Amino acid sequence: MNGERLHSEWFRKASESFSPPEWPSTPPISRPAGDPVWSTLGGTFAGAIGAAVVLVILRRIDLREEAGIGAVGLAVGACLGAAFGRLTRRLVPVIPRIALGAIFASAAWLALYAFVMLRFLPRLAASIPFTSSIRDACAFGACLGLLPPLRVRNERGRRP
């Protein structure tokens, strides 16, 4: 008898209907984010400027005699800057962008130097001093982060 009463109480509570949760009447908070196209174009510009700064810092390469190296350096810097600008379009404050750019570029250069150049291109790795090259990578990353998104818009919720 006690078991039947417990059984009926258990299923009676389970069959009770619950009201749906109250949803907030206000829309989600809007966050500033850069326009995707303009962020990519701004990153391309910042990457080219960063590559030019690094080429000026190097001073070992005479760009008048070896213009091809300078052109390739600017193109690679512009491509890296475009990717960085697109990935960080929601990071609007400048100081965190500079820090992220410097850390990202230094880590990428460290991985390239340690895993690719030392293994597959040891002569080239021996000719490039590591300390100055990591400093140049940090300067390139800081130049990437200096330019905030060019056109900022407010986004609500989550976009695909």
Write down the mean pLDDT value for the chain.
Answer: 79
With beta carbons less than 8 A apart as the criterion, state whether 34 and 149 touch: yes
Nearest to residue 137, comparing CAs of 104, 160, 114?
104
With beta carbons less than 8 A apart as the criterion, state whether 67 and 114 touch: no
pLDDT at 91 over 50: yes
For the chain, give the number of residues.
Answer: 160
Whole-Å CA distances, 155 to 32, 75, 85, 139: 6, 32, 17, 31
- Cα angle 77, 105, 57 (rounded to 5 degrees) comes to 60
Give the percent of the chain with pLDDT over 70: 79
Six token digits for residue 155: 């986004």
pLDDT tens-digit readout, 58-67: 766 666 666 7
With beta carbons less than 8 A apart as the criterion, state whether 53 and 140 touch: yes
pLDDT of residue 110: 92
pLDDT of residue 93: 86
More confident residue, 115 or 73: 115
pLDDT of residue 20: 59
User: Which are the contacts of 118, defined by CB distance < 8 A and separation ≥ 6?
Assistant: 125
More confident residue, 160 or 135: 135
